[in-house]
Amino acid sequence: MGRPREHDESTRELLRAAAERIVAVEGLGGLSLRAVAAAAGTTTRAVYTTFGSKDGLVDALARTAFDFLYTEIEKLPKTEDPINDLVEIAIKVFRRLALEHPVLYRIAFQRIAPALRAGPEVTAARQRAFGQLQDRIRRLERGGLLGRTSLHDATIAFEAMMEGLANAELRGRTLPILSAGKEKQAWRRALVTLIRGFRLSDD
């Protein structure tokens, strides 16, 4: 029999969640392997064994954001309305990431972590999530809804709009842009307007 792994996937998730909580409360300055180990009720050896270093831990947080997007988008059904399906992805998945896991969102999309290396695993996770979004936007292309806008440009524009809306909502009272209580409506209006505008590229 092979030697059992000392630290399995449950340990990895325990440590990753502890790191997310620490950054949420204390900021990146409070993130250390010792603090993560203490919060998870384990040892720094467990953190080193699982992530290799603090940089590896930060990379794991970024990767978790992209894995979240891929997994949650995969759960959403494809209906006969590709425009509404895209808006649902934005509101039910991307917005959820930003609001429920702001630390992961900010590390992955706002690049607030100087230690983020964006190594092969992070890059692969991002490309997988981006590719999945692009596949959903391809349904617009097949339906003649992109005009002369390329699939790549439409995907970039849609992602940029989601990021802008998420950033505006996360700022909250600091610099309010979205009307309180009407955030979802604002997301929907902005995204539908963007999608419909793709066809205007014919002009």
Residues 85, 140 within the same domain: yes
Half-sphere exposure for 74 (CA within 13 Å, toward CB): 9
Residues 22, 99 within the same domain: no
Residues 68, 41 within the same domain: no
Residues 5, 34 within the same domain: yes
Residues 64, 108 within the same domain: yes
Distance in angstroms (rounded) separating the CA atoms of residues 136 and 88? 11
Q: Could you tell me the pTM of the whole model?
A: 0.88
Q: Residue 17 belongs to a domain with what CATH number?
A: 1.10.10
pLDDT in tens, 37-96: 999 999 999 999 999 888 899 999 999 999 999 999 999 999 999 999 999 999 999 999
Residues 5, 87 within the same domain: no
How high is the pLDDT of residue 35? 95
The last residue of one of the domains, among 33, 52, 71, is: 52
Residues 62, 158 within the same domain: yes
- Give the residue numbers spanning the domain of 27: 1-52
CB 158 within 8 A of CB 86: yes
Residues 82, 21 within the same domain: no
Q: How far is CA 97 from CA 61, 72, 120, 147, in A?
A: 12, 10, 22, 30
pLDDT in tens, 130-185: 999 999 999 999 999 999 999 999 999 999 999 999 998 888 755 566 667 788 99
Residues 178, 90 within the same domain: yes
Category of 41 on φ-ψ map: left (φ > 0), alpha (ψ -120 to 50) or beta: left
Residues 150, 72 within the same domain: yes
Q: Residue 108 belongs to a domain with what CATH number?
A: 1.10.357.10
Distance in angstroms (rounded) separating the CA atoms of residues 198 and 203? 10
Residues 79, 22 within the same domain: no
Domains identified in the chain, total number: 2
Residues 45, 69 within the same domain: no
